Chains A and B, each alone.
Chain A
């Protein structure tokens, strides 16, 4: 019998399968085009509007030859290392307290972490600036008065200070990731060491830490990557004090007052950053795979050995309380204080007399309302669209028989390796020089929607992939044998089964979209303001009191969403978070 090419032909797909595949293909093209276009810009010697140009590594030479850019890169590395250290300092002990001790009131830890979501990074940065600014900082002034110092003892406007604030906001992530590592460790391994006569510290040193190490290291790299890409903390604290990390430096270059923006150099620096970030992500996934080797999958519910805290429980809660106070409570109080004053000043009897709600009245309400409406639209559409696309991706990657389908999963993960500010920048350049000719959406909220969706796709596909893999394939095959096509399978079988994951992921992405500053900052104009951008603009025009008032409005509007999120996560437990 002759061997035909039967098996090589594309699987015949019905209408819905074709629609999903088309969506995945189009989105993939957009994702790939953005960094590729940036690469092209970085290699092109002339300005993008020039029709002809030579290609070389000129801009890369520019980047590596510029001592200021190299300074910016070392700043960024120092900043993210300090942030990582601070994050682990608060996160790891918290994870250990929750997972391995008899700490009373563990659900309260979750509540604290969730309330923390209310405070966007830029708000915490504002609060710390008000506290530790060398000139106006409350704590500095107090210390100077109290100890008769001639100079401010703290300076938040430094790499150290910015790293500290960033680290505080990364601690919950460090906590969640370390808790997952500890949870995956089979307590029997520790118990058998104990039965062999090892004491608490020896078990910790010889068994627990070595076993948890790959997981903690992986978490460390992941957190470092986020610190590395951070924008809002360095922007709020560093910008006005001329201390730049690469993300703020990129924006500085774009908004350069003199001459044309240096698109070539900016693109070259972005490519360097993508490379560094990509290597970190690659290292992380390697370690992750390694860490899984140690994991003993425990389907059975087990009760891990818990350390009795005894009287030290006060110490434990003191530690947690200190974290909460430093990361959330103090910044919030200071922001409230700032919003009530006509201009920021040190708390005193005289200052108390000037308290009023005038800052709230003086807010530019027309812009603010525009911002609220735009943010509202984006907050609903971004998670919805992202999840719809993510379901298509998961289906194509995990369920279709399209050749090369695994490649699409890689594409969906690509945005994760690109720092948000670079991603926003790539989108802006792509928009400006390519897409604008076909779809003129520059300066509208639709460009924001496009970028938000693509940037969140990595997270969304991780969530849908994980749940998809838990759905037994035979559930879909049974539907096929019942005589239905792909569309009915998606609507009647897959979506209802994905339901809980979709709701959780939707809420989480809505929260992130609501407070998103980084991606919006590059792409914002007067016509597509979002609420965080309104805050940002107020801050940069020097209206600290007005920015504080706007931040409070932003945070109070987040309360219902965070409450809903808290309720949902409490129901499903910490595990899902």
Chain B
């Protein structure tokens, strides 16, 4: 549905040039919810704006429904207002001088595909009903709450019935509770419309709960692409492991070839660990990623391998668990323990980690 090939864009300013998007390629299938996830400045928004046509890439090709809308080789350029793409902006971009109705009617009245007067009313009403704003049609747009403005932005993007929907951090301006509600609603709305969606966010939890496919970006490149479970459980490198969820990252050296079930032995500062290598062949200097929730308390003196012995340095009760810091040798580990089973600070603890949760990966992104 959407194919992006070898996309590159460099920003030029007076003092420097900045390669914002660096040879990015990906494909979004019909009806898929595709997320570009990464820290600020990673190029995710620029990539999205290239698809929208609001930025013009230096290199590469973008095809929608098989037809190129932007191509450096064929010198094709379809301006953004002719691409029939719905877009929701981070600021919502609700026009403050119009009513709710006028905001939604705008694309139908002035857009490329103009609609006659009667149909405008019906389609706007339908779009507003869809986002539960039907009763507020005549209200002045600035008089809406944050959540309502966000729905209005969605209705305006939907009203043209676009084949492609672009969402640029649409939830980032909402407060925490509203954000959680809108997350569920957004997925429901998009899926019920069957519209192919690209979503940009820096919030891993939004990416994990909403997406069919996540592409994690760093420094203008996609560093890993996969479904949410894959990305979380089998991060391809230390950056992804740390960015998606929390991870303890420990440097080490692989000393053996992978066994039949893919386990390798890794020498770390305090001893040896049995690790799995989800991203395939791994050798030499690597990083080991261990998620805080995968470390379990075990009776001391247990002979099992993959046991870390250290001192509980700090513990903070956060409700459903205790965030702890355990010092093993010179390394501090983040550990999440059950509140009922958290030992006294200062005591010695033994922590077990299963080999399948001990992930060996390339250190660089």
Please list the residues of chain A having a beta carbon within 8 angstroms of any beta carbon in chain B.
Answer: 1, 3-4, 6-7, 11-12, 14, 472, 474-475, 477-485, 488, 492-493, 496-497, 499
Contact = CB atoms under 8 A, between A and B. Distances in A.
Contact of B84 (A14, A475, A477, A483): A483
A28 to B, nearest CB: 22
B86 A481 contact: yes
Interface in B105-139: 106-107, 110-113
15 contacts: A3-B58, A6-B56, A7-B56, A11-B56, A14-B79, A472-B93, A477-B93, A480-B54, A482-B110, A482-B156, A483-B110, A483-B112, A484-B112, A488-B110, A493-B95
Contacts of B86: 481
Contact of A4 (B54, B73, B81): B73
B6 interface: yes
B110 A475 contact: no
Contacts of A4: 58-59, 72-73, 75
Interface string B20-53: 0000000000000000000000000000000011
Interface size class of B (residues with CB under 8 A): 35 or more
Contacts of B52: 477, 481
B59 A3 contact: yes
A474 B93 contact: yes
A1 B6 contact: yes
A14 B53 CA distance: 14
Contacts of A481: 52, 54, 80-81, 85-87, 157, 166
B81 A483 contact: yes
B58 A6 contact: yes
Contacts of A474: 89-91, 93
Main secondary structure of the interface of A (DSSP, over half): helix
A6 B62 CA distance: 14
A485 B59 contact: no
B154 interface: no
Contacts of B106: 479, 482, 484, 492
A479 to B, nearest CB: 7
A182 B86 CA distance: 47
Nearest to A4: B72
Contacts of B59: 1, 3-4, 6
Contacts of B166: 481
Q: Which of B86, B87, B90 has the most CB of A within 10 A?
A: B87
Nearest to A476: B93
B82 interface: yes
A493 B56 CA distance: 23
Contacts of A499: 97
Contacts, number: 88
Interface of B: 6, 10, 52-54, 56-59, 72-73, 75, 77, 79-82, 84-87, 89-91, 93, 95-97, 106-107, 110-113, 153, 156-157, 160, 166
A475 B156 CA distance: 13
Contact of A480 (B6, B58, B80): B80
Contacts of A492: 106, 110
Contacts of A497: 96-97
Contact of A496 (B57, B75, B81, B97): B97
B279 to A, nearest CB: 27
Contacts of B77: 12
B160 A483 contact: yes
A483 B96 contact: no
Q: Which of B58, B91, B93, B97 has the most CB of A within 10 A?
A: B93
A477 B54 contact: yes
Contacts of B75: 4, 6
A255 to B, nearest CB: 48
Given A4-B58, A14-B79, A483-B84, 5 more contacts: A472-B91, A479-B95, A482-B106, A483-B111, A484-B106
A12 B76 CA distance: 11
B11 to A, nearest CB: 11
Contact of B113 (A1, A472, A483, A493): A483
Nearest to A486: B81
A497 B96 CA distance: 8
